[in-house]
Homo-oligomer: A and B are copies of this chain.
Amino acid sequence: MDELPLILVIEDEHAIQGIVDDALTEGGFATDILSSGEEALTLFLGGLKNYKALVTDVALKGRLSGWEVAAQIRETDPAFPIVYMSGAHADEWASKGVPNSIMLAKPFAPAQLVTAIAQLLNSVPPAAT
């Protein structure tokens, strides 16, 4: 068990990057943290790394919102675990989120993020490795 499960994170605020990185690292995950959806999609679709889940802010500075990144990732991998983080847009989850995702309304505790990731990973049916 040399590697750690790798989580793809999209967040453009520096302070929240730190909170998310600390919480996931302390929970035993590895992280790749990008500040735009375009970069994150490029990495995900490139397929060089075996990401296990996406944690994404909803409101991003680039062209793509967190809703759009999640929907594009789900077109490639329909069961991919998604956690959205949002301040002002939390009520859009019901109409713009994808099924079987979790929304964290800011402010949230780091333990909520770690539990959300674990809940989603633990309920994905296991695949042969």
Q: What residues make up the interface of A, taking CB atoms closer than 8 Å to B?
A: 1-5, 15-16, 19, 23, 26-29, 70-72, 74-75, 78-79, 86-88, 90-112, 114-119, 121-122, 125-129
- Pairwise interchain contact A95-B74, C-beta atoms closer than 8 A: yes
Q: A1-B107, A100-B94 are in contact. Are A79 and B112 (CB under 8 A)?
A: no
- Residues in B with CB closer than 8 Å to A70 are 95
Residue of B nearest to A77 (CB): B94
In the complex, what distance in Å separates the CA atom of A19 from the CA atom of B2?
11
Interface contacts beyond A70-B95, A75-B92, A94-B99: sample of 6 additional A-B pairs, CB < 8 Å, sorted by A: A3-B107, A78-B94, A88-B128, A90-B127, A105-B127, A115-B119
